Structure 1
Amino acid sequence: MLKGFKDFIMRGNVVDLAVGIVIGAAFTTVVTNLTKSFLEPLIRVISGGEGVKAGGFHIRKVYFDVPAFINAVIAFLLTAAALYFLVVLPMNKLAERRRRGEEPPPAAPSEEVKLLTEIRDALVARRGVPEQADPRR
């Protein structure tokens, strides 16, 4: 049961999704504050002067907030670009290296692991019992 869960978690798509959600949520907050605090007021000043409703227009007394829409588009584009360049592109390059077999070999076991393996093998040999497969592997 745990092996199946481990295989599920270690699948590339699940890891990509988790990383994307976490980074996306954090980065979206930064981008939203940047655009709300700096870009939207700048758009309002450039497109219509002062005030909260500057830059928009009215049709039959209904206000259309054009600067807020432009702000949302800019926030989306910044978030999407950051996710692409910081998450998707590096993961794609890593996956390509794996497919070509250029991935660096796994690190050799540490000295502690080697020592513990030798101790285990010596204990098994001393008991005269054949080594059994560890169900936790």
Structure 2
Amino acid sequence: MKGFKDFVMQGNVIDLAVGVVIGSAFTALITAFVENLIQPVINVFGGSNVDGLSFKIIQANEATRIDVGGVLSAIIAFLITAAVVYFVFVLPISAARRLDRKRRGLPEEEETSVSEDIVLLTEIRDALTVQQGGTAQPGGPVQPGGPTPQV
């Protein structure tokens, strides 16, 4: 039970729970905004069609209705949600982390470049070759030698 208690009391779990609750409430807000304000505006472009921007493939069959306005509303809801999450949460938190690292005198976080990855993989390959009895020149071709590994 102690391990479970430690897990639950970690900051990450609490942060995740708060994020899920706020995300659910925010989703309901955006859904209401799009359904009650954006969807009617999109339906205006449907002209005199009572259903807005939708049509039936087979007129007598309601199950064949294609609702273009609903899809556009979902896309708008996604874009609004993504923009708010980015500008309200991601951008300020990233700036705060950079500021905190700067204040503590730590170097800026840098992404590992592809060339550093290749150098590291080459060093690992050379070390494995030497370990198996071959010879390797740093950055050069591998000279196989010694026993062949059994597969």
Shorter-chain TM-score: what band? 0.5 to 0.7
What do you get for the CA RMSD once the two structures are aligned? 2.8
Sequence identity percentage: 35
- The 5 Å alignment of 1:24-35 reads 24-35=23-34
- Given the alignment of the two structures, is residue 44 of structure 1 paired with residue 43 of structure 2, yes or no? yes
Look up the equivalent residue of 2:55 and give its one-letter code.
F
State the alpha-carbon separation in 1 of the partners of residues 7 and 99 from structure 2: 23
Unaligned runs of 5+ residues in structure 2 are 106-151
Q: Which has the higher contact order (CA 8 A, sep 6+)?
A: 1
Q: Separation in 2 of the partners of 1:99 and 1:57?
A: 56
Alpha-carbon distance in structure 1 between the residues aligned to 2:21 and 2:98? 24
Gaps of 5+ in 1: 104-137
* TM-score of the superposed pair, with normalisation by structure 1: 0.58
**After TM superposition, which residue ranges in structure 1, 4 or more long, deviate above 3 angstroms?**
14-20
What aligned pairs does 1:1-137 form with structure 2 within 5 A after superposition?
1=2, 5=6, 9-11=10-12, 14=13, 17-51=16-50, 53-61=51-59, 62-101=64-103
The question of whether the paired residues in 1 share the 8 Å contact of 2:45 and 2:52 is answered with no
The TM-score normalised by the length of structure 2 is: 0.53
Query: 2: CA distance between counterparts of 1:95 and 1:7?
Result: 24
Distance 1:94 1:16 in 2: 17
1:60-114, CA deviations, whole angstroms, 9 ceiling, x for partnerless residues? 34110011111111111111111111111111111112222359xxxxxxxxxxx
Aligned to 1:131: none
Higher helix share: 1
TM-fit CA distance, 1:16: 5.5
**SS at 2:56 equivalent:** strand
**How many equivalent residue pairs?**
99
